[in-house]
Structure 1
Amino acid sequence: MMSPLVVRLLLLVCLASPLYGVEKVRTRGYRKDPDADKYGSCMQGPAGPTGREGNPGTNGIPGTPGIPGRDGLKGEKGECINEIFEEPWRPNYKQCAWNSLNYGIDLGKVADCTFTKLRSDSSLRVLFSGSLRLKCKNACCQRWYFTFNGAECTGPLPIESIIYLDQGSPELNSTINIHRTSSVEGLCEGVKAGLVDVAVWVGTCADYPRGDASTGWNSVSRIIIEELPK
């Protein structure tokens, strides 16, 4: 027969066995949270809502300047272009005309015509058209020429026409009296801009005696002046 002490021990063993099994089962089905050691032995709840964005931060300290770059390769020499803007050329001309000039002088100015020249780098084209006559018994020569402000053209040479009459026979030379429409024409450079007095003169030829000259007899005579670009 067992003693009362042994019976009590057996009874405690029988009562503790079911509780040990239940605790073992609970321990086996429970997974430990990896962060359990961080937050203690309490279990972590569900994640909370997303928080608001924070206020913008202040600008940082400016960085130090970088290293200067190297000079590039030297470029090719450019082409120099000079643009000259000039006003378009405008026609500039004038005509002076006389009906039956009938000027019988042998030396001096026959007729003149004033003209306004617009540019100094232009040229003047001049024309005299009218009847010319020379009469003499012996050999003679007369010269009709242009002047510009009282001087003959020097750019490049004078503008002139001549009539020479040979001695011939005394019978013919004493009666010959032929008037022919002729012209004196040329281009003169180097005349300055402004008012220009263009005139036609009659004079002698070098080394020849003068005769009896006549200009503009019984017909129209005219001077035409035109400014031309160079």
Structure 2
Amino acid sequence: MMSPLVARLLLLVCLVLPLYGVEKCTGNDAEKPNCTRHSEGGRSAYLNNMYGSCIQGPAGTPGRDGNPGANGIPGTPGIPGRDGLKGEKGECISEIFEEPWRPNYKQCAWNSLNYGIDLGKVADCTFTKMRTDSTLRVLFSGSLRLKCKSACCQRWYFTFNGAECAAPLPIESIIYLDQGSPELNSTINIHRTSSVEGMCEGVKAGLVDVAVWVGTCADYPRGDASTGWNSVSRIIIEELPK
């Protein structure tokens, strides 16, 4: 690469040498054919035209970017768009917000109920049902006994406000006895703790009278029944989500 000093010397040579080949005109010599008159401005133009192809010096330092220009004038608003096509009718969705389920149960208990009836209500327990679409689970636990000298059958069952469960089916338990002890001229007399249990649907919300009854079996004679002898009997009621 050429140094700045050498470049300047070459530029000076390009400017000075042509002066020796040009005759200076003075006075009447201006009419001579080989005489060229130069003014101060004409001399610069002459040199630029004749020797503009001299070696170019090194490029200067690039200038800095100018300041950003001011924002232009805002454009005019565009033409409003047209309405789109009508959409299809949406589905109607209804949301149902329910309260969280809370346990609801009750227990009624008796010590030595000793109820000896053969037909009728044995015990009852009042329960407050919170929802109509819920299910009631019921349990009776206690001592049951049946005796007779010939075949007999007794039935223990639940009612809800005086009616047996219809959905899905009645809640019941039976004891059947074929015969007694002829050789001793007496009957078998065994008391056993037993249970009557099930679930019932379709009971409306509100106050419900839950009761245990004793009755006869179909097509069989009744015997001598006993409920809750010498032990604790209880009814447990629980409301369950459907």
Q: Does structure 2 conserve the Cα–Cα contact (< 8 Å) formed by 1:127 and 1:185?
A: yes
Tell me, which stretches of 5 or more residues in structure 2 are unaligned?
1-77
Deviations 1:168-208 (A, max 9, x none): 65237823111000000010011111111100000000000
What SS does the aligned partner of 1:217 have? coil
Q: Residues 18-44 of structure 1, C-alpha deviation per residue, up to 9 Å, x if partnerless?
A: xxxxxxxxxxxxxxxxxxxxxxxxxxx
SS in 1 for 2:183: helix
Are 2:121 and 1:109 aligned? yes
Match of 2:82 among 70, 81, 85: 70
Aligned counterparts, 1:189-228, within 5 A: 189-228=201-240
Q: What TM-score, normalized to structure 1?
A: 0.67
Going from structure 1 to structure 2, the CA distance change for 1:173 and 1:213 (only over 3 Å counts) comes to: farther
Q: Which residue of 2 aligns with 1:131?
A: 143
Change (3 A) 1:107 1:149: same
Q: Could you say if the C-alpha distance between residues 182 and 97 of structure 1 is closer, same or farther in structure 2, counting changes exceeding 3 Å?
A: same
- Asked if residue 147 in structure 1 is aligned to residue 159 in structure 2, the reply is yes
Asked if residue 91 in structure 1 is aligned to residue 103 in structure 2, the reply is yes
Partner of residue 187, structure 1: 199
Partner residue of 1:229?
241
SS in 1 for 2:219: coil
Distance 1:172 1:74, change over 3 A: farther
Deviation at 1:155, TM superposition (A): 1.0
Name stretches of at least 5 consecutive residues in structure 1 with no aligned partner: 1-65
| 1:101-133, Cα deviation, whole Å (9 max, x unpaired) | 000000000000000111111111000000100
TM-aligned CA distance change 1:103 to 1:132, over 3 Å: same
Query: Superposed, which structure 2 residues align to 1:14-53 within 5 Å?
Result: none
* Closer, same or farther: CA 217–173 of 1 in aligned 2, 3 Å: farther
CA-CA distance at 1:83 after TM superposition: 1.8
Question: For each residue in 1:68-122, what CA deviation from the matched residue of structure 2 results, as whole angstroms up to 9, or x when unmatched?
Answer: 7433134466455432110011110000000000000000000000001111111
What SS class does the counterpart of residue 167 from structure 1 fall into? coil
> Is 1:161 equivalent to 2:203 in the alignment?
no
Query: Are positions 1:175 and 2:193 aligned together?
Result: no
Query: What is the alpha-carbon distance in structure 1 between the residues aligned to residue 177 and residue 184 of structure 2?
Result: 11
* Deviation of 1:156 (Å): 1.2
Q: Structure 1 residue aligned with 2:130, among 118, 124, 127?
A: 118
Q: Distance between the aligned counterparts of 2:88 and 2:96, measured in 1?
A: 25
The 1:88–1:210 alpha-carbon spacing in structure 2 relative to 1, beyond 3 Å, is same
Contact 2:125 2:209 in 1 (8 A): yes
What is the number of residues matched between the two proteins? 166
Work out the CA distance in 1 between the residues paired with 2:152 and 2:130.
41
Report the residue type matching 2:122 in the other structure. V
1:100 aligns with 2:112: yes
Structure 2 residue matching 1:98: 3-state secondary structure:
strand
